[in-house]
Copies of this chain bind each other. A is one copy, B any other.
Amino acid sequence: MSGPSRAPTMADVAATAGVSLSTASLAFSGNKPVSAATRERVLSAAAQLGYTGPNPLARNLRQGRSGVVGIAVGPLSTAFRDPAALPMLDAVSQVLEREGLGLLLMGEGDEHAALPLDAVIYDICGRETWDAYADLAARDVPVVVVEGPSWPGSTFIDIEHHAGATALARHLHDLGHRRVATVTLAPSHPQREREAGLREVFPDAAVVGACESDLTAAQELVGPWLDHGPGATAVVCQSDVQAAGVVLEARRRGLDVPGDLSVAGFDGVATPWLDLELTTVVQPLAEKGRAVARAVLDRISGTDTADVLLPVELRVGGSTGPARS
């Protein structure tokens, strides 16, 4: 066999099979019926030439789609440190994969501006603005935003931050808590909504401080506050990871949870290294991911999309109890 100087193209296959280029194309794509005999001839010619199928680059240009969806999550090591991020990403990826679409990780910058993306998912709760958005909008790239912020022309997938936080607050109030503090996130849509929900019940809730959803960060934030003498009987956190940090830090100071201090989280993720189930607001992470993926598919196909608001559910665990009187 003669070593081919360049990769075989579909035209080579067609020539070898003795059919026209368009027939060869149909034999591969199956977009229109082709007789079994000719398809066979085409495929065997392809095998003989070592042709590995239509060049994706050419197909993409022709069809005007790349098959790649970007997801902006910020620096990966921080984005995925919170276990709440994974189930959603997993669900998105699975749904898209089924459609032959790939998921491309984007930082926050616009280094990926030159990549052909069919759509972009924006999933950085902690950021309010996004420089790359104007670019994407100008190029008519569909954008699906997870948990705000709100930009014109985007589709939004959100959860009931406010209602969830209020339900949690009521639970604490029912337990007799009157002085409550909160560990919050950087200013953002979820942060504002959840805090507002909390204040429906505890208008005067004290803010311990803001940090990302990271165990160590939460510990460093709450430690000094605990030392200073909290003056609160319960701490409401904006994530389970933060809540776990508060639990660990409280215990380190000899406080009993929930005897001396009730601690609540948000998200509903597993914390197997904590011998305690957190009281938390469970959000449907996988369902959120599927909703995101569906919105992406709709936007790509031009179907109308509606924003989605997913319900949350209070789950009472062992980290909250009656207020110490």
Contact = CB atoms under 8 A, between A and B. Distances in A.
B61 A138 contact: no
B76 A90 contact: yes
A114 interface: yes
A87 interface: yes
Interface string A59-86: 1110010111010000111001101001
Q: Please tell me the size bucket of the interface on A.
A: 35 or more
Which of A102, A111, A140 counts the most chain B CB atoms within 10 A?
A: A102
Interface stretch (A30-38, A50-58, A195-203): A50-58
Interface stretch (A92-100, A168-176, A302-310): A92-100
Contact of A105 (B59, B61, B102, B274): B102
Contacts of A273: 215, 244, 248, 273-274
A103 to B, nearest CB: 5
Interface in A1-44: 7
A73 to B, nearest CB: 10
Contacts of A255: none
Nearest to A76: B90
24 contacts: A7-B140, A50-B138, A53-B114, A55-B116, A56-B115, A57-B57, A57-B66, A60-B61, A60-B116, A68-B104, A70-B102, A75-B90, A77-B89, A80-B86, A81-B86, A97-B109, A97-B111, A102-B104, A103-B104, A103-B105, A216-B272, A248-B273, A252-B275, A273-B274
